[in-house]
Chains A and B, each alone.
Chain A
Amino acid sequence: MSAPALFRQPPSPQRVMGRISTATQSVANGIAHVADAYAALPRTYIRRGQLSTEARIKLMIERLREYDADVVESTPQLLPASIASQLALSGKRTFAAPVGLPVAWLADGFDWKIDNGLTATEIEQTEGVVTAAFCGVADSGTIVLHHSATEGRRVLTLLPDWHLCILRASQVVETLPEYFSRCQQPPALVTWISGPSATADIEMTRIKGVHGPRFLHVILVREQL
């Protein structure tokens, strides 16, 4: 039963915070500086991986393939051709692209929709999307997007059914903590992608591609030394 607006009490941050402060009084008094306490927390878990570069890349590819992502390797020189090849193999024509995607990646012979403010409906009508990434985490086969100009707005990698992601070998780390060390500062937007969308809600049978792209393709670009 809601009281008439006139008599309804405003929600009370003070009330809730008051209770919390009282609740933690006993501990707050003991520790002068929250920051010091935070810094003293035990972190003996693995921070840096031990794998060689080669083993790390191999692991990333292996884990991606475990998710049924398709992975091909390429070099910076061959990259545009690799992209064109992947697009051709998909059998699709219309592709969305982030506004900052390198022009060299926009292969000829396809219908490109550059995201200069595409509507959801327009994105929905594309058949696939091509983006870069911020990082790859080999341990879990995770691709991390920070949604920069080359990675695209979040909706861009969500609505199309097919996603081609360009991942440079130098962007691949072994452990999740290593990804975090790479962030100069915490990003405002992140999407961690580990395989295509899936559900196991019906009898624990894993079904791929509920919402979100059902097909994930990765081109792993090995830069020359």
Chain B
Amino acid sequence: MRASLFITCYNDTLFPETGRAVVRLLERLGVELEFHPRQTCCGQMHANTGFRGEAFSQAKRFVRLYRDTETVVIPSSSCVAMIRDQYPGLFEELGNDALRKEFAALLPRVHELSEFLIDRLGIENVGAWFPHRVTYHASCHGVRALHLGDRPYRLLAKVRGLDLAPLPNVDRCCGFGGTFSVKNAEVSSAMLAAKLQDVVSTGAEYCTALDNSCLMHLGGAMHRQYAGMKTIHLAQILASTEDSPAEELE
């Protein structure tokens, strides 16, 4: 099985350890991974802030880069949502029929990480070991755009040693929202405070999710407030084994 990793612009810059974990995990599962060196961004930040034209050019670039790729794996549900939900409209508007067709052919081959593991590889038990109390935050894009359902939970359930603490109001937005976190920083922080209260109440050591965007926001507050908790991307939990436990490689 071959797959091409679209790391996402912010993971590449801020969370390379998540990318490293994806590589370790998928290679362990026998996937032959590729990485397109010219990749940059899917255009979500621009599209969501209203910079449509700019988002167009990034979308076009993405499709051109991956049009011949068998499978694309992306460890970020918001980026997959951008591609699945917004690219169709963008390409309609662009009016370029050839490009629209290329995109339509590519779309079914693009997967978020948990989708790739469960739907494409058919695996729930990835052989992971992570002996910690963990709570899972369901990112909005994962829940409402990608309809991931119980996929993350099925993966977490098979991680040896992991004690999953249910998160109250699990579906409630953490308040990141991309540029919202800055354009409406105070409201974002109020939402964050409410979310953090729920997260801390679980008594977990780690908060995990499928999106480092949410985790950057939550983790930033945890660190500021000496909350005694940390964040970790789900890929890093799944990549963790007795031989190479997650913390050592952070």
The answer to whether any beta carbons of A and B sit under 8 Å apart in the complex is no
Which B residues have a C-beta under 8 Å from some C-beta of A?
A: none
